[in-house]
Structure 1
């Protein structure tokens, strides 16, 4: 009698199936049993872990939601950047094709020179800082071993974290002096591009306010013209006239809305910079202040050097001329420090000479 391994294997499978059927059990696929065992382990870990608290339970339960939001934000980043470029380009198109010819024919030479100089300076600052904010790396901790000090370990990267470093779930890595992840930049805002981000917000808000104020009378004229055409028997306008009026209304509404929203955001970040904080550190410092207050102690932000010094460190100002060359003009200089080490607690005198 010949020995056939395949026949023995089929026989064993048949016997196992018969035994499972007799006992009334249904054998599930291995991947389902493995997933079920993993879920049971997760649930049991919440009960038998002495460090478990409400935050751990919340993070565990909503981890799929966080992952979905991070994935969608990461995917839509390029869409948001494209939207910024399209909206800004549309405003420039209206300004050059509609507003500029009207200004040249109605304004005095002095006002024309003012609008041309200020408008183009503002435009250059917006384009430069937006490009640098999107293309500049926010800064990452070194992956190889080094002598840089660290304050904790990242549980996701399994890497040491220097001071002011936080993990970004969207970028899926740690960011030096992380402020937040900006979908409109499709990039994190960190140590090396924080200045570009704030300057872009500032000059974009200034540009929107400039367009809103300077175009207010044109907006009212265009709005009244359209109302007169549609609701009265006034002489009809041509298609070109209607498109000009609607373009002016579109530009004024868009710039006014963006100027209001972005102005509030810029003001908020200016307050944080004045206190030597980032958006994340604002929440951390608030919790520490309350925690120490319950113990009768006062919390001091170790990275607050005073209002003026905080702005000097943020903009990289080392002498008086830098307020012009590094703040009011496009500048690609690197920020002070490497983002790995920080000087703690305020100084009694200026950090840098002025």
Structure 2
């Protein structure tokens, strides 16, 4: 019974418009690039052609691996009915009526996942789950590999189109063995895939830079908003807000890569702060709102 539930959950996770569109984009760019490259830079035609295909297929493989790991691995969820070990700490935490438990530090409730997510960054429709504590590294690696793969594909597709549009020149004066012939349908697919690849580089590249920025600060997108509000909130002169989780960029990086550290419920904090420094700030902001 448990195996059937796992299979059904996995099928439900992947058969959603977000993952299906993401896989369609990966498939389109990959097949168009391989089709185009096989004409002017075949993998068995030269050492450079073999190396090019190995690099490109490795990037595609890494993209798919991290995509599925981020999607199926999930962000990590706070147990239903969770509460801290010490009763006196309950007053520092928000109560989640949906999960019938307290929100652990850095956790937030996702209405789409219907669970409290550990170190929730955002709900990503492309992987049909949240980006959080357990899958943040895989999600970021997925973004990085997708951008690198699409940069590679963009260069190859542009070279291929150039050779196709200058077919007569290459036929008479260039390399006759590796001519690029494109009929209408392959041409449309190639131009479409090139547009997708450039779009991924711009859009996903921007998201990757945002993710790296918050990782280096050991924040999440939600915490960034909380910190902005906390810094602008009026408070006594001697009472300065200190973000408790920023341990220095190198240690912040190690908190996520290569794999996340900790149990997702307790966190290392800077000197002078406690596990509940940020949750108390959240409660103050809730009262102000």
State the TM-score, normalized to the length of structure 1: 0.62
**Per the alignment, do residues 167 and 91 of structure 1 end up closer, same or farther by CA in structure 2, a change over 3 Å counting?**
same
The answer (yes or no) to whether the contact 2:105–2:266 under 8 Å persists in 1 is yes
1:303-334 per-residue CA deviation (whole Å, 9 max, x = no partner) reads 11111111111114xxxxxxxxxxxxxxxxx5
Larger radius of gyration between Structure 1 and Structure 2: 1
Residue 208 of structure 1 aligns with which residue? 150
Spell out the pairing of 1:1-354 with structure 2 (5 A cutoff).
78-104=16-42, 109-144=46-81, 147-148=84-85, 151-222=93-164, 241-291=183-233, 295=237, 298-316=240-258, 335-345=260-270
**Per the alignment, do residues 293 and 144 of structure 1 end up closer, same or farther by CA in structure 2, a change over 3 Å counting?**
closer
| Structure 1 residue 198 displacement after superposition | 1.0
Query: 1: CA distance between counterparts of 2:83 and 2:41?
Result: 60
**Per the alignment, do residues 223 and 256 of structure 1 end up closer, same or farther by CA in structure 2, a change over 3 Å counting?**
farther
Query: 2: CA distance between counterparts of 1:346 and 1:132?
Result: 34
The answer (yes or no) to whether the contact 1:222–1:249 under 8 Å persists in 2 is no
**Per the alignment, do residues 294 and 270 of structure 1 end up closer, same or farther by CA in structure 2, a change over 3 Å counting?**
farther
Query: 1: CA distance between counterparts of 2:166 and 2:270?
Result: 59
Query: 1: CA distance between counterparts of 2:39 and 2:224?
Result: 47
The answer (yes or no) to whether the contact 1:80–1:183 under 8 Å persists in 2 is yes
| Structure 1 residue 100 displacement after superposition | 2.2
**Per the alignment, do residues 197 and 155 of structure 1 end up closer, same or farther by CA in structure 2, a change over 3 Å counting?**
same
| Structure 1 residue 240 displacement after superposition | 5.6
Query: 2: CA distance between counterparts of 1:210 and 1:145?
Result: 46
| Structure 1 residue 243 displacement after superposition | 2.7
The answer (yes or no) to whether the contact 1:292–1:298 under 8 Å persists in 2 is no
Query: 2: CA distance between counterparts of 1:268 and 1:253?
Result: 23
| Unpaired stretches in structure 2, ≥5 consecutive residues | 1-11, 168-180, 273-289
1:209-261 per-residue CA deviation (whole Å, 9 max, x = no partner) reads 11112332323444678xxxxxxxxxxxxx96223332322221110111111
1:28-73 per-residue CA deviation (whole Å, 9 max, x = no partner) reads xxxxxxxxxxxxxxxxxxxxxxxxxxxxxxxxxxxxxxxxxxxxxx
Cα RMSD of the aligned pairs, angstroms, is 2.9
More relative contact order, 1 or 2 (CA 8 Å, 6+ apart):
2
**Per the alignment, do residues 224 and 260 of structure 1 end up closer, same or farther by CA in structure 2, a change over 3 Å counting?**
farther
1:66-119 per-residue CA deviation (whole Å, 9 max, x = no partner) reads xxxxxxxx99970121111122112222122332232128x9834223312211
The answer (yes or no) to whether the contact 2:230–2:241 under 8 Å persists in 1 is yes
SS in 2 for 1:215: helix
SS in 1 for 2:183: helix
Query: 1: CA distance between counterparts of 2:161 and 2:237?
Result: 58
State the TM-score, normalized to the length of structure 2: 0.75
Give the number of equivalent residue pairs: 243
Query: 2: CA distance between counterparts of 1:158 and 1:173?
Result: 10
| Structure 1 residue 141 displacement after superposition | 1.4
